Chains A and B, each alone.
Chain A
Amino acid sequence: MSIEYFLNSLYLIKPEIVVTTFLVFVVLLDLFSNKRNNLLPFFSILGLLVTGYFVLEQFGLKGLAFVTSDSRAMVSVDSFSAFFKSIVVLSSIYFILMTVYSKEMEETFDRTGEYYTLMFGMVLGMFFMISGSDLILLYLSVELVSLSSYVMAGFAKNSEKSSEASLKYLIYGALSSGLMLFGISLIYGLTASTNLYELNPLLIVSEANSFILMFAMLLIFAGIGYKISAVPFHFWTPDVYEGAPTPVTAYLSVASKAAGFALLIRLIKVSFIAEKDTFGFWIYNPIFNWQDFLVIISVATMTLGNFAALWQKNVKRMLAYSSIAHAGYLLAALAVLSDTGLVAVLVYFAVYLLMNLGAFLIVIFIKNKTGSEELDSYDGIGFSMPFLGVSFTIFLVSLTGLPPTAGFIGKLYLFIALVDAKMFVLAIIALLNSVVSLYYYIRILKHMFLAKPSENSPKEELSAVQFIILFSLVIPVLLFGVYFSPIVELAKNSILLLGF
């Protein structure tokens, strides 16, 4: 292999190079400084901004990096990956901001260096999950993300729950990634290839035993389903989300889920879709019925997520189940297997990023004051901390999917895609699910506004920066609710170059 081979590909992976560079810098900076380095968060944000700049450059690009034969590439760079990478970068920035302003983190921090190192490692892994197009690379990146997140989930070393979360996460993760690897090896056995692009024609012509192929796909899905916490691979989610430090929970619920979805979409689109009709519906390889499969998983995921959330008494745990339910909605949009459905997924993700991070941000701010995440401790917070109460209301309304918030736009596009594909039963199930979800979201509102505040409830004291962070999420949620052209335009442009 010549040096050109690498040089030709390097310019396509600039964001990844930047991330790696900053990972090393963080380690070095941490090495040569005091125990608590307050410069690190700023430095990390700077790194993410630089990364973000290079990610933005990739919009509209279509390139294959590390090409070995005609269509065989390890990494594909396109607008689709740029979209999900932006989501990862954005949520990483909020993740750092949340960490800085979380009392919980401040109390548990011993050394900050490894925390940010892990984060950069995770970002790197997610980037390759998003744009990798070879099963081996994808497996490695999934592992990289998992390993970093195991440690981060257990970062609050003094908290028993955090350690428990980390252990549970590890055990489930090890199992599912083992299954995934087994699935990959079966695929390799059937087709003699691990490259997504190469799989497509091979799967079409192959007389491969379709039972084994189905089995292999199920195994691979186990690995992805674990990342996006789809039922029945969700069991770790509530415990980990509850036990992990809140910034980590927020990060897992947005960034690693985004990466998982990007992987799933690329896998389906590149390996199984031969062509699409004029209305943008994908004609999928009948060897594995992705549509029925995704519909079943989606219905199970959203229904279980929403109904389990009804009984929760801990806000973080409730939001964990809610994020399972949202994964269900996203899977429903994906199950349409059309371009419209894919636009719906992307729109939903952009919106989900804002409202879910917002909700967790408020959980952190409230915990800073009250020291608790139990629902009962939210009594009367709407009056003692009006700004947080009202902002939380906006995020919860958006999570329910009511206008005039961005969440409604996500739901709207989801249902447009479903009705367009005449999948009415799924649409009705999803609609009824959103009615169910109202009941638990509103329970939080009930505690915040309808219950009397306790005598010595702490006052709301937010610094200017905290206000800015909060508003940077609240305002888009409201704005995109009434003017959503930018999001949809972006989503639409982002899928144009995926696959073919």
Chain B
Amino acid sequence: MQQVPLLSLITFLPIIGMILILFLPKNNEKVIKSLTLAVTGIQVLLGIVIWRFYDYSLGGIYNQASFQFVEKFRWIEISSVSWLGTIKIDYFLGIDGISAPLILLTAVITFIATLASWNIKTSIKGYFALFLLLDTGMMGVFVALDFFLFYIFWEIMLLPMYFLIGIWGGPRKEYAAIKFFIYTLLGSVFILLAMIGLYLSATETLADGSKVFTFNMLQLMNAENYTADGILSPLNPSNLRLWAFLALFVGFAIKIPMFPFHTWLPDAHVEAPTAISVILAGVLLKMGTYGILRINYPMFPEITNQLVWWIALFGMINIIYGALCALAQKDFKKLIAYSSVSHMGFVMLGMASLNTAGVSGAVLQMFNHGTITAMLFIIVGIIYDRAHTRGLDDFGGLANQMPVYTGFVTIAFFAAIGLPGLSGFISETFVFLGAFHVESIRLITVISTLGILLGAGYMLWTLQRIFLGQLNPKWSALEDLTAREYAMLIPLTIIVIALGVYPSLMLDLMNSSVNTMVNFLLKSPETFSGLPF
């Protein structure tokens, strides 16, 4: 399978689709939609192929040999002059157990989101072209192993997202779109700065023995590659590694979104069309935590070890604060948005534990949150399409009117609460197992468990307000699910149940990489000596 550039294919297929769409005449709505569906469908198939051929035993993280489906060739090379050095950037793709689940997630969520986009009415052509561009950006972030390439993919997503919220969004779409854009750009300029700092601090040894500055992520994880006087070199006593870590962390935290950088999220979610909310919550938020795992952790292991308490603390704040905010919402969609804030807190808590259980839990929670929240947003979309309101107090007694819908909602809600037998339970348990094991963050972990209680509170209360009680006669004409809505909800439900019953499907995929990561983090602080403290 090594001959087929699977990762390039899965990443750039949407771009090809986009170009085709741009050449199609405007009124060919059916063709445009079907083409997008086909492209995202093929992505799911490619994802399954990748999954089938993925070798569970390889760890990845810092060792190129144990990455899979690697594609690497020279992309930019500028010959050397003494003061500028050779500039060399690789086109370098590859996946390990951290990125593989997220690729599957992205493929599935994008496919579902395409279905959810079916009722877009204006400017179909522009919508699906941007949608596919966004798709490429998301896939690219998860497969790129060169920091420069990663950054390009990271930034490519901003503009389509701006337009998708800004043109096809709700009443306050302009405000929400610009807020999203400015926040994320603010984060990414800090990432850029840290990236350049890393680039100027580490060299890679080429085949001919010459040393050149590098954007290669794996080379940046190797303490030996840092030059003695590099500003981000552990060997340099006056290094700025803590600042670089924070710059990257803030950049990624804005995407998670971590308190206090979360305020763009409720606005973006409430105004975005359903499909974009699904993508936003399902995939985009994971990029924040993925970036921390892929870049902050292995490139700054010694600082990571010292700052885990803070990461856990902010995880806890996210969990509790998000849940409390969710409790106070009167808008269904905003409630789900805040529940995302809360659930991403679990990911951070798991990451902070730095042990196999916790980090596995975090990665699994990323996947599970992706599928569960996607379901929740589809659910909100379904009711909003019918009732044109999302006020929680406007409903009541829908269980009799829309029994099948209610069934799906119940599954999704229970999965979000973390009921045993559904996927959310497994990941949250792993997160708490891992985090409780670490003495320094035990108290934080204990307080965080409150989040589950609060989660049950707002979810069940919502269930009660919408589906139980007397049916408001205004809604007596609401219809149950259509075929398209079944097609969106059933695959997600299957995933949620399957991973709840048999989590090894995902855990096996990530296990070896998580172990490699944890060992790397525990071992390498010694090599990355020369701490700024």
A interface, CB within 8 angstroms of B:
276, 278-280, 338-340, 343, 383, 393, 397, 402-404, 408, 412, 415-416, 419-420, 422, 424, 427-428, 431-432, 434-435, 438-439, 442, 445-446, 449-450, 482-485, 488-489, 492, 496
Contacts and interface: CB of A to CB of B under 8 A. Distances in A.
A109 B21 CA distance: 43
B266 to A, nearest CB: 20
Contacts of B200: 416, 419-420
B192 interface: yes
A449 B167 CA distance: 7
Given A485-B76, A488-B78, A435 B83 contact: no
Contacts of A420: 200
B477 interface: no
B231 A438 contact: no
30 contacts: A280-B82, A339-B83, A339-B84, A402-B155, A403-B156, A408-B155, A412-B196, A416-B200, A419-B193, A420-B200, A422-B231, A424-B240, A428-B193, A431-B190, A431-B193, A432-B186, A435-B182, A435-B185, A438-B181, A438-B182, A439-B178, A442-B178, A442-B181, A446-B178, A450-B166, A482-B152, A483-B76, A489-B78, A492-B78, A492-B84
A292 to B, nearest CB: 21
Nearest to A428: B193
B255 interface: no
A335 B533 CA distance: 32
B197 interface: yes
A435 B186 contact: yes
Nearest to B81: A492
B446 interface: no
A483 B75 CA distance: 8
Interface stretch (B157-165, B339-347, B393-401, B523-531): B157-165
A404 B193 contact: no
B174 interface: yes
B193 A416 contact: no
Interface residues of B, number: 39
Contacts of B75: 483
Top 6 closest pairs, chain A to chain B, by CB: A280-B83, A431-B189, A403-B152, A403-B155, A419-B196, A339-B83
Nearest to B165: A450
Contact of A402 (B159, B173, B182, B190): B159
A58 B485 CA distance: 67
B51 interface: no
Contacts of A340: 83-84
Contacts of B178: 439, 442, 446
Contacts of A422: 231
Question: Which secondary structure characterizes the binding site on chain B?
Answer: helix
B167 A450 contact: yes
Among A402, A419, A431: residue with most chain B CB under 10 A: A419
Given A339-B84, A442-B178, A416 B199 contact: yes
Given A415-B193, A483-B75, 19 more contacts: A280-B84, A339-B81, A403-B152, A408-B155, A412-B192, A412-B196, A415-B196, A416-B196, A420-B200, A424-B193, A427-B193, A438-B185, A442-B178, A446-B174, A449-B163, A449-B166, A450-B167, A450-B173, A492-B78
Interface string B67-80: 00000000111110
B16 to A, nearest CB: 16
A445 B160 CA distance: 12
Interface in B218-277: 231, 240
Given A446-B178, A450-B166, A338 B159 contact: no
A435 B254 CA distance: 15
Contacts of B84: 280, 339-340, 343, 492
Nearest to A487: B78
Contacts of B152: 403-404, 408, 482
A439 B182 contact: yes
Contacts of A485: 76-78
Interface in B196-221: 196-197, 199-200
Given A404-B152, A435-B182, A449-B166, A419 B82 contact: no
A484 B185 contact: no
A438 B82 CA distance: 36
Contacts of A450: 166-167, 173-174, 177
Among A278, A280, A393, A435, max chain B CB count under 10 A is at: A435
Contacts of A339: 81, 83-84
